[in-house]
Amino acid sequence: MNGKELLKKALNHEETAGLSIDFGATAVSGIHVLCIERLREFYGLKKSPVKVIEPYQMLGYIENDLKEAMGVTVDGFTGIYSMFGFKFEDWKSYMTLWGQEVLVPGKFNTSQDENGGQLIYPEGDTSVPPSGRMPKSGYFFDSIIRQEEFDDSELSVEENLEEFGLIGEENLALIKNEVNHLTAGDRGVIANFGGTGLGDIALVPAPMLKNPKGIRDVSEWYISTVTRPEYIHSIFERQTEIAIENLKKLYGAVGDTIEAAFVCGTDFGTQNSQFCSAEAFDTLYAPYYKKINNWIHANTKWKTFKHSCGAVEPLLDNLIRAGFDIINPVQCSATGMDPQHLKEKYGKDLVFWGGGVDTQKTLPFGTPDQVREEVKSRIDVFSKGGGFIFNAIHNIQADTPVENVAAMIEVIKTY
């Protein structure tokens, strides 16, 4: 059974003789470039600079030889633009702050800040203020808040929609070519076409825009969901209309060649609680998620993917009613996220994409034996009855011991 068949069966809650395995198919299930380099060395693969395919988190492209060594069965389309607004093209060599040579897009342009860190620029334009910063001792970028002063009476919905536009024919052709290349292979495919993330806090500061207008401060955005609900509703309503128009074009270009669509990465959970109540979710977010998911389910065979870190168990019924098929990253270390409980209560309605091993403690700080034990336990729980795609809980970070990653792979291969 190839990866495409494994993924389809997993998404349809059917048990299989092997696991559907994702590393690198999305921006929330990837591996840091430094860890990828070390994995390539561990498995004795050809030494070559790793491509940075998500500069914000410095995630790397996993080449086919490493995917085969890891047993990866899922590929992913993650977009033609980076979080900083430049295209993935014209690759060049770049030396990171930690001394690793990597490949970055041509407009990945940086400068040094006063503390020895790195500043990065929207669309690669160094004539405008930087939109991201990596500390000297850091391994990825944080957004720089660039919100300008505004008057509530003059707030424009269009200003908070600048990054959400209709797909042009040139970009549609690029997307079609990249997706067709992926779907021609034997692995299953998930695609993140963009534009459907409602209130995604990674997007709110607009690191891709040279001069963002509207509400762009993270704290102000969260406050606005309570103090300016009509404004947020207006943004979501228009964004949803644009998203569905784009989905029509995208489906016309790629059809049912993909198995799943990454719909939204908005986080609703903290380590111990939620960013909003179930009632607030149903009022502010659910109506628009339903429109997007209903269109996808009515017109395609795609399953819909929802990412949300944290303690989201109290919101899972709401996500199901909003039409989501898949939950990621399944943060089992958060309050109320016990694997057995999640599988028993929600396993018939939700596919668990993740949850395979804890990336906060076990994978980075445990022993290889502790990693093996946890991975085996998670597979035993989540794989029963299908509905499970193995991935770690969110991205594998830079300094994760390669022996621990190898121990994880060793266990998942036995299944």
The pLDDT value recorded for residue 231 is 97
The pLDDT value recorded for residue 342 is 98
The pLDDT value recorded for residue 415 is 78
Decide if pLDDT at 414 tops 90.
no
What does the DSSP 8-state code read for residue 311?
S
Question: Which CA distances in Å does 241 have to 30, 291, 294, 415?
Answer: 30, 9, 13, 43
Give the β-pairing of 59-60 and 50-54.
antiparallel
Over the stretch 150-179, which tens digit does the pLDDT of each residue have?
A: 999 999 999 999 999 999 999 999 999 999
What does the DSSP 8-state code read for residue 32?
B
If you write DSSP's letter for every residue of 11-30 in order, what string do you get?
A: HTT---SS-EE-SSSSTTS-
| Consecutive H or E run containing 216 | none
- Is pTM beyond 0.95 here? yes
Over the stretch 206-260, which tens digit does the pLDDT of each residue have?
A: 999 999 999 999 999 999 999 999 999 999 999 999 999 999 999 999 999 999 9
**How far is Cα 42 from Cα 252, in angstroms, rounded to an integer?**
42
The pLDDT value recorded for residue 211 is 97
Over the stretch 203-212, which tens digit does the pLDDT of each residue have?
A: 999 999 999 9
The pLDDT value recorded for residue 306 is 98
Decide if pLDDT at 17 tops 90.
no
Closest to 194 (Cα-Cα) out of 132, 254, 264:
264
Over the stretch 81-125, which tens digit does the pLDDT of each residue have?
A: 999 999 999 999 999 999 999 999 999 999 999 999 999 999 999
Give the β-pairing of 142-143 and 132-134.
antiparallel
Burial status of residue 30 (CB atoms within 10 A of its CB: 0-12, 13-18, 19 or more): buried
Tokens (6 digits) for 113: 């800040």
Peptide bond between residue 130 and the one before it cis (omega within 30 degrees of 0):
no
If you write DSSP's letter for every residue of 279-297 in order, what string do you get?
A: HHHHHHTHHHHHHHHHHHH
Average pLDDT, stretch 272-295? 97
Q: Hey, what domains does the chain have and what are their CATH numbers? A: 3-45+64-83+148-413 (3.20.20.210)
If you write DSSP's letter for every residue of 80-107 in order, what string do you get?
A: SB-TTS-BS-S-EEEE-TTS-EEEE-TT
Decide if pLDDT at 70 tops 90.
yes
Q: Using CA of residue 311, residue 353, residue 22, residue 74, what is the dihedral sign? A: negative
Alpha helices in 79-210 (DSSP H): 169-183
* Percent of the chain predicted with pLDDT > 70: 100
Q: What b/e sequence results for 191-218 when a residue is b if at least 16 CB atoms lie within 10 Å of its CB, and e otherwise?
A: bbbbbbbbbeebbbbbbbbeebbbbbee
Residue 315's pLDDT band, with cuts at 50, 70 and 90, is very high
